[in-house]
Structure 1
Amino acid sequence: MAAERRLNRRAEGGFFLIEALVAILIFALGILGLVAMGGTAVSAQSDAQYRTEASAYADAIASRIALSVDRSSDAALAASLPRFAHRATGAPADCAFTGDDTEEAALLDVINRAASAGGGLPGADATFQQVAVDTAQRNRVSITVCWRTANDSAPRRHTLVTYVN
Structure 2
Amino acid sequence: MLIEALVAIAIFSFAILGIMGLQATAIRTVRDADYRVKASLFAHQIVGQMWVDRFNVPTYALNAGNAVCVAGSNSTSNAAVTTWLNGLKDATNQGSLPGAASYQQQILVEANNVVTVTLCWKSPQDSGPHNFVLKTQIQG
TM-score, scaled to structure 2: 0.89
CA contact (8 A) 2:74 2:105 kept: no
Deviation at 1:82, TM superposition (A): 2.1
Computing the radius of gyration from Cα coordinates, the structure with the larger value is 1
Corresponding residue of 2:8: 23
In structure 1, the residue matched to 2:33 is: 48
Provide closer, same or farther for how the CA distance between residues 99 and 66 of structure 1 changes in structure 2, counting only shifts above 3 A. farther
Per-residue CA distance 1:90-136 (angstroms, 9 max, x = gap): 112xx0178972222222212211111122111111743111111x2
The one of 117, 128, 133 equivalent to 2:91 is 117
Whether 1:90 aligns to 2:66 is yes
CA distance change for structure 1 residues 84 and 99 in 2, over 3 Å: closer, same or farther?
farther
Flag structure 1 segments of 5+ consecutive residues without an equivalent. 1-15, 71-79
Q: How does 1:66-77 map to 2 (within 5 A)?
A: 66-70=51-55
Q: CA RMSD in A?
A: 1.9
Alignment deviations for residues 139-161 of structure 1 (CA, whole Å, 9 cap, x no partner): 11110011111222221000111
| Paired residues, number | 137
Counterpart residue number, 2:75: 101
CA contact (8 A) 1:83 1:102 kept: no
| Structure 2 unpaired stretches of 5+ | none
Query: Is the partner of 1:125 in helix, strand or coil?
Result: helix
Task: Report the residue type matching 1:56 in the other structure.
Answer: L
Provide TM-score, normalisation by structure 1.
0.76
Q: Which residue of 1 aligns with 2:118?
A: 144
List structure 1 segments (4+ residues) > 6 angstroms apart after TM superposition. 97-100
